[in-house]
A and B are shown apart, each in its own frame.
Chain A
Amino acid sequence: MKKVEIFDPAMCCSTGVCGPSVDPDLTRVASAVYSLEQKSFDVTRYNLANDPAAFTDNKEVNQVLHEKGADALPITLLNNEVVKVGNYPTNDELAKWLDVKADELQQKPRVVVPIDFN
């Protein structure tokens, strides 16, 4: 299965509501990641403030950080390859990578109830 990893800058909360203003991009990402997790996709976020080890342990991320510094964050990896630096992936990008419909990333997950007609 494909794996997406997002390496966030050091932040207080991953929804972004506690910055000096609401960053709709952060809330969108939080929501998209949440939806993907609900669908059992392998999506992980690492916050630099809480989980710095992830940033040193990952060779690709570490290299980008050493080349570009803190401004390179957020960094997104798809199957261990850097696919996005300095910006969050859009819903379309996430959808393309993981092969889901983009609008599913902001919808309430539906539970399919099997109906047995017999």
Chain B
Amino acid sequence: MYQPFNPKVNVETPFLFFTGKGGVGKTSVACATAVSLADQGKKVLLVSTDPASNLQDVFEMELTNDPVSIPSVDNLFALNIDPEESARIYREKTVGPYRGKLPDSVVATMEEQLSGACTVEIAAFDEFSHLLSDESILNTYDHVVFDTAPTGHTLRLLELPTAWNGFLEESTHGASCLGPLSGLGDKKRAYAEAVLSLSDQEKTTLVLVSRPDQSSLIEANRASSELRDIGIQNQMLIVNGLLQTYQPDDEVSTAFYMRQRNALKVMPDELKEVETFTLPYVSYALTGIGNLRQWVSDDPLLESALNESSIDIEKIQLPKLNSIIDDFSSKGTRVIFTMGKGGVGKTSIASAIAVGLSEKGHKVHLTTTDPAANLAYMFHDDGTVKENLSISSINPTEEVEKYKQVVLSKVGKEQNEEGLAYLKEDLESPCTEEIAMFQAFAEVVERSDDEIVVIDTAPTGHTLLLLDSTEAYHKEMSRSKGEVPTSVKKLLPRLRNPKETGVVIVTLAEATPVLEASRLQEDLKRAQIVPTWWVINQSLYATGTTDSVLQGRAVSEKQWIRKVNEELSHQCALIPWMHEEKIGYNNLKEMINA
């Protein structure tokens, strides 16, 4: 099958970018690679740009924005850029000098405008490009290992010609979302060089990290083609956490093994073209330099010496999915959102909640925005789509296209050619997608007058805030144009009302998904939306497996289950890892009581 990943022979370029969605183990793979390269006598700089990074835990020391030497590994240096912190510093630099000079209400609107996703993305890219284009970095280090690559979106943004020319000529019309960039306008050359380094095969390798499961392989494929489109051709794939053997007498272990192997068999064809390596599923935690070294060595020692005391028998007792369904059913909740990062199983949870509520006799509509989740497929097996359960899906690409057409037909007529070109460029912004999706949400939520609406994936806190401030703005101006559709106007108050709306945050019992979910919760709080439930999905701990490798992982889940249950959630449900993907009405019904 695939070769095990060995940094000693598989790394050829000075720059390495590790990318992949949250929870796939990017940080572990990047750290292990950096340690292994340093052990060979190469001088290595490890850079993390993940705000949820546990780089500090891995090396058991504080890291900063500047490289510091890791005492326990010769030749290894690390720095940790928190893009949200960079964005905050940038925002403060922009806004700070005007506190006191401009009225508070004015300063507040500036801050809000600079709180968007774009500012964070650009701030992160700014840090990247410094490291990529600074000659002295390449003279100092043999390898620079980045944990998290810039997204295709950031790179495209920087390529928009009018945007840059606009700034350089100090035109008054910059394209959208470049607000944050304007303060960095003098860095055009550095950015251009950074983009050039990224696409230079001699300099940069893009390492896609994925779990051996379908959704994360699909995500890796998406990132792969997006980044290939903008010239980053030199790619490799690392399938992280491949279970090497299984215990035939342990059902969980057998099913776990089979699911992984099957996912690899149906890997997207395009991704099969990318050179692929694997790293094994091990029972020990991937923290501490010793463990990381072991993991990428010739003998990764799959089973840890789990002593009896580390598997304590005390069980954490938490509600099942049926408690959530009972709760919503008895309270008469009309709109239910499942939120969380990709790959945590939101769609299954949303589907199971919808099935559960329809079983209780409610009329339910279920919809998703996850392009990878085909609801028709979720329910295909036995054709038992019940009369009181309907399904639909919101396709982001289609919604954005629809939205663009509406805008262009509404205002495009009055524009001349160049004006139209400007407008089209503005419409390429990430905001457009957020807004388009938001309107689609609003439409579907309207249905909750007649039935319970379950929505898989939610508008971000940023969009909600944007809506809120604009609505207030419209109100103050007492504009009668009423350009905000009624469905959108009604949406925010509805989402804020816990009697009408329930938000379910879905996570796995692992560091990154939990930390990311907690940030999502904070974001929602800013928009005055408080999640009702948390669901910890796919828990090995809850299966009671006796597989020697899997058990190690089950034990490490405990601290995250505790954190969610005791610190983060009001109410929390725990769902065991399932032997098979739950497809079809009857299988979803089983999940409810699992």
Contacts and interface: CB of A to CB of B under 8 A. Distances in A.
A15 B423 contact: yes
B483 interface: yes
A20 B177 contact: no
B443 to A, nearest CB: 13
A33 B416 CA distance: 12
A13 B178 CA distance: 8
Contact of A18 (B419, B432, B471): B432
A70 interface: yes
Contacts of A28: 411, 414
B101 interface: yes
Interface in B427-444: 427, 429, 431-432, 435, 438-439
Interface stretch (A41-49, A76-84, A93-101): A41-49
B362 to A, nearest CB: 31
Interface string A15-52: 10111111111011011011101000001111111111
Nearest to A47: B179
Chain B interface main SS type: helix
Nearest to B171: A37
B410 A49 contact: no
Contacts of A70: 103, 105-106, 108-109
Contacts of B258: none
Nearest to B106: A70
Give the residue among B183, B416, B476 with the most A Cβ atoms within 10 A.
B416
B110 A107 contact: no
A90 interface: no
A31 B176 CA distance: 15
A66 to B, nearest CB: 6
A20 B467 contact: yes
Nearest to A71: B476
A46 B406 CA distance: 27
A9 to B, nearest CB: 6
Contact of B466 (A20, A22, A86, A109): A20
B410 A24 contact: yes
Contacts of B98: 52, 55-56
A114 B122 CA distance: 48
A15 B174 contact: no
A12 B427 CA distance: 12
A47 B183 CA distance: 13
B518 to A, nearest CB: 27
A47 B176 CA distance: 12
Given A33-B172, A70-B103, A48 B109 contact: yes
Contact of A65 (B102, B179, B432, B484): B102
Interface in B403-429: 406-407, 410-411, 414-419, 422-423, 426-427, 429
Interface stretch (B27-35, B112-120, B388-396): B112-120
Interface in B86-104: 94-95, 97-98, 101-103
A107 B418 CA distance: 11
Interface in B449-498: 463, 466-467, 470-471, 473, 476-477, 481, 483-485, 488
Given A20-B488, A22-B410, A52-B94, A107 B416 contact: yes
A12 B484 contact: no
Contacts of A50: 174, 179, 182-183
Contacts of B177: 12-13, 18
Interface residues of B, number: 59
B429 A49 contact: no
Contacts of B419: 30-31, 34-35
Query: Could you say which of B102, B108, B435, B463 has the most chain A C-beta atoms within 10 Å of its C-beta?
Result: B102
Contact of A69 (B97, B106, B406, B467): B106
A27 B411 contact: yes
A20 to B, nearest CB: 5
Given A9-B473, A20-B438, A27-B411, A14 B174 contact: yes
A50 B170 CA distance: 12
Nearest to A25: B481
B109 A66 contact: no
B172 A66 contact: no
B113 A24 contact: no
A12 B426 CA distance: 10
B179 A12 contact: yes
A13 B426 contact: yes
Contacts of A62: 101-102
B94 A14 contact: no
Chain A CB within 10 Å — which of B106, B423, B432, B439 has the most?
B106
A100 to B, nearest CB: 15
A17 B407 contact: yes
A56 B172 contact: no
A10 interface: yes
Contacts of B471: 20
Given A9-B109, A22-B410, A87-B477, A17 B470 contact: no
Contact of A12 (B94, B407, B429): B429
Given A10-B112, A21-B435, A70-B108, 5 more contacts: A30-B173, A31-B414, A49-B179, A71-B105, A106-B415
Query: Which 8 residue pairs of A and B lie closest in terms of their CB atoms, listed nearest first?
Result: A13-B176, A18-B431, A108-B416, A10-B113, A69-B105, A27-B411, A49-B113, A70-B105
Interface of B: 94-95, 97-98, 101-103, 105-106, 108-110, 112-114, 116, 118, 172-177, 179, 182-183, 406-407, 410-411, 414-419, 422-423, 426-427, 429, 431-432, 435, 438-439, 463, 466-467, 470-471, 473, 476-477, 481, 483-485, 488
7 contacts: A18-B426, A20-B466, A20-B488, A35-B416, A52-B95, A70-B106, A86-B477
